[in-house]
């Protein structure tokens, strides 16, 4: 944790891709991989290079395959099997969108599912599944080079409902529930209190609720510009000005004195004071005695008692960690607008791929996918980000 690291930005990938830049990249990809057969050849070439392709029956690496075909025939035992069966690409119908998504991410290009849908000419649900499966692979690569932080630090982003959102509630209530369950769980298991850094293990969360009938793909249509159709005041943070959002982010999970806010926001005192007044009037922020400010949502969490320890963690963040959180929030906001709490860990993994260009250089994501276990659609649907999410320390 006390390791020296650079803040993201210095190694950052491309900014929210413009349509003209995307068109150029897309042409480049199509020149490299003009057909599904060429994509399969690339998968096979890379898998062979990594020594992954061997006969499932006798283990021999001496195999034959026709150009662009998935069927592999063993030269020794003559049995055949599919190149993609039982791998990360198991359910892949067309290889091109998958390879394209990987190809773009390896170049630091992050697209929303709606953008990818349009670019690759696939269904929104396909684009959404590709994004989530790839980011789960990336999560699997997060090791010591990441910080475990309460997901509540990212609650400014939670404006999309998911199957985890309680009925008729704001998307952020998911966070309150997770925080309460996490604290309750810890009180049962560790009477000594919070055990921060090792709790966040990417993967299936124990806090799954499987009763919801709507699919997350439906909910995720908000990403495609249907946000305003959502109930529960989901738009409220979107209506803030950039300065107000910045103040709101600075206050995430902690109370700050006016002078500290002034220093951290870099705003003149008069301007800051005006914005705080607006935020207070809109019910986003509360002023405390001694000229400190707190976000209304955090204040509510803090006074509920169950999440006091959780908030104490937020207040104990180092300046570097605060900056990492702020940069990640900025990234998600710029590229995806708002998200649901349920998938915040996936977006943070995508952020890592976007900014850490040294770790996620060309070829690296495809390699991680080739070595990944299969990830089913059900796993994505039932996935819930853990109470402590991982955020990369970008070296
Ligand atoms: Zn064989």
Same domain, 225 and 77: no
State the distance from the centre of ligand 1 to the C-alpha of 51, rounded, in angstroms: 15
Query: How many structural domains are present in the chain?
Result: 2
Q: Is residue 67 part of a domain?
A: yes
State the distance from the centre of ligand 1 to the C-alpha of 91, rounded, in angstroms: 23
State the distance from the centre of ligand 1 to the C-alpha of 56, rounded, in angstroms: 7
pLDDT on residue 201: 36
pLDDT on residue 287: 84
Residue 315 to residue 317: CA distance in whole angstroms: 6
- Site of tokens 């850094």: 197
Same domain, 194 and 309: yes
Q: Give how far Cα 56 sits from Cα of 49, 71, 106, 366, 367, Å.
A: 17, 12, 30, 22, 20
pLDDT on residue 132: 97
In sequence order, which residues have a C-beta less than 8 Å from that of residue 135 and are 6 or more positions away? Answer: 346, 347, 349, 350, 353
Report residue 335 as tokens: 């590229």
Task: Report yes or no: 367 and 51 within 8 Å, Cβ to Cβ.
Answer: no
Question: Can you list the residues of the chain whose pLDDT is less than 70?
Answer: 1-17, 144-145, 182-239, 298-316, 395
State the distance from the centre of ligand 1 to the C-alpha of 54, rounded, in angstroms: 8
State the distance from the centre of ligand 1 to the C-alpha of 79, rounded, in angstroms: 6
Same domain, 163 and 95: no
State which of 348, 363, 385 marks the end of a domain.
348
Task: Report yes or no: 330 and 9 within 8 Å, Cβ to Cβ.
Answer: no
State the distance from the centre of ligand 1 to the C-alpha of 45, rounded, in angstroms: 19
Task: Report yes or no: 80 and 89 within 8 Å, Cβ to Cβ.
Answer: no
Strand partners, 149: 389
Q: Is residue 272 part of a domain?
A: yes
State the distance from the centre of ligand 1 to the C-alpha of 81, rounded, in angstroms: 10
Q: Which residues surround ligand 1, an ion (CB under 5 A)?
A: 55, 57-58, 60, 74, 76-77
Task: Report yes or no: 108 and 343 within 8 Å, Cβ to Cβ.
Answer: no
The domain in which residue 104 lies consists of 19-109
Q: Is residue 208 part of a domain?
A: no
State the distance from the centre of ligand 1 to the C-alpha of 52, rounded, in angstroms: 14
State the distance from the centre of ligand 1 to the C-alpha of 137, rounded, in angstroms: 29
State the distance from the centre of ligand 1 to the C-alpha of 282, rounded, in angstroms: 68
Same domain, 99 and 24: yes
Q: Is residue 377 part of a domain?
A: no
pLDDT on residue 241: 82
Same domain, 94 and 237: no
pLDDT on residue 234: 30
pLDDT on residue 222: 38
Q: Is residue 394 part of a domain?
A: no
Q: Is residue 326 part of a domain?
A: yes
pLDDT on residue 315: 55
State the distance from the centre of ligand 1 to the C-alpha of 72, rounded, in angstroms: 10
Residue 257 to residue 310: CA distance in whole angstroms: 20
Residue 147: in which H helix or E strand, if any? Answer: strand 146-150
pLDDT on residue 252: 82
Q: Tell me which residue of 126, 127, 217, 136 sits closest to 386, measured CA to CA.
A: 136
State the distance from the centre of ligand 1 to the C-alpha of 74, rounded, in angstroms: 5
Write phi, then psi, for 225 (nearest 5 degrees).
100, 15
Instruction: Write out pLDDT tens, residues 114-141.
Output: 999 999 999 999 999 999 999 999 999 9
Task: Report yes or no: 354 and 107 within 8 Å, Cβ to Cβ.
Answer: no
State the distance from the centre of ligand 1 to the C-alpha of 78, rounded, in angstroms: 6
State the distance from the centre of ligand 1 to the C-alpha of 25, rounded, in angstroms: 40
Q: How many CA atoms lie within 13 A of 23 on its CB side?
A: 3
Same domain, 247 and 306: yes
State the distance from the centre of ligand 1 to the C-alpha of 77, rounded, in angstroms: 4
3-state DSSP call for residue 295? strand
pLDDT on residue 29: 97
pLDDT on residue 319: 78
Same domain, 198 and 303: yes
Same domain, 75 and 168: no
State the distance from the centre of ligand 1 to the C-alpha of 39, rounded, in angstroms: 25
Same domain, 226 and 306: yes
pLDDT on residue 12: 43
pLDDT on residue 277: 86
State the distance from the centre of ligand 1 to the C-alpha of 86, rounded, in angstroms: 17
Same domain, 195 and 319: yes
Q: Is residue 85 part of a domain?
A: yes
Transcribe 61-129 into DSSP letters: --EE--TT--EEEETTT--EEESSTTSTTTT-S-HHHHHHHHHHHTTT----HHHHHHHHT--HHHHHH
For the whole model, what pTM was predicted? 0.67
Same domain, 304 and 199: yes
Q: Give how far Cα 275 sits from Cα of 171, 210, 246, 261, 293, Å.
A: 24, 41, 10, 12, 12
Residues recorded for the chain:
395
Same domain, 99 and 198: no
């Amino acid at each position: 944790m006390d390791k020296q690291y650079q803040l993201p930005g210095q190694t950052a990938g491309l900014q929210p891709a413009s349509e003209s830049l995307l068109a150029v990249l897309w042409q480049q990809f199509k020149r490299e991989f003009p057909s599904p057969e060429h994509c399969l050849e690339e998968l096979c070439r890379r898998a062979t290079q990594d020594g992954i392709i061997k006969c499932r029956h006798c283990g021999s690496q001496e195999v034959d395959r026709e150009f662009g075909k998935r069927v592999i025939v063993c030269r020794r035992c003559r049995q055949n099997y599919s190149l993609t069966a039982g791998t990360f690409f198991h359910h892949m119908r067309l290889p091109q969108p998958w390879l394209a998504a990987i190809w773009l991410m390896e170049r630091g290009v992050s697209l929303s599912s709606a953008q990818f849908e349009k670019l690759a000419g696939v269904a929104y649900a396909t684009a959404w599944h590709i994004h989530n499966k790839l980011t789960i692979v990336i999560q699997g690569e997060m090791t010591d080079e990441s910080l475990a932080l309460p997901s509540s630090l990212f609650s400014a982003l939670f404006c999309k409902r998911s199957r985890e959102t309680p009925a008729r509630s704001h998307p952020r209530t998911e966070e309150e529930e997770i925080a309460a369950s996490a604290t309750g769980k810890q009180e049962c298991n560790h009477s000594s209190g919070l055990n921060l850094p090792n709790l966040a293990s990417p993967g299936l969360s124990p806090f799954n609720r499987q009763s919801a009938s709507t699919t997350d793909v439906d909910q995720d249509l908000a990403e495609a510009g249907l946000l305003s159709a959502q109930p529960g005041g989901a738009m409220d943070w979107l209506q803030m000005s950039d300065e107000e959002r910045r103040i709101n982010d600075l206050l995430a999970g902690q109370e700050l004195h006016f002078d500290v806010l002034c220093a951290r926001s870099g705003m003149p005192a008069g301007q800051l004071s005006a914005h705080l007044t607006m935020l207070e009037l809109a019910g986003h922020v509360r002023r405390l005695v001694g000229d400190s400010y707190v976000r209304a949502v955090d204040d509510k969490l803090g006074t509920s008692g169950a999440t006091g320890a959780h908030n104490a963690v937020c207040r104990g963040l180092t300046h570097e960690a605060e900056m990492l959180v702020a940069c990640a929030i900025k990234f998600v906001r710029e590229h995806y607008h708002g998200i649901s709490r349920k998938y915040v860990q996936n977006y943070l993994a995508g952020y890592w791929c976007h900014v850490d260009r040294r770790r996620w250089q060309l070829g690296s994501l495809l390699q991680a996918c080739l070595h990944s276990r299969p990830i089913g659609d059900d796993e994505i649907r039932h996935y819930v980000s853990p109470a402590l999410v991982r955020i990369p320390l970008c070296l």
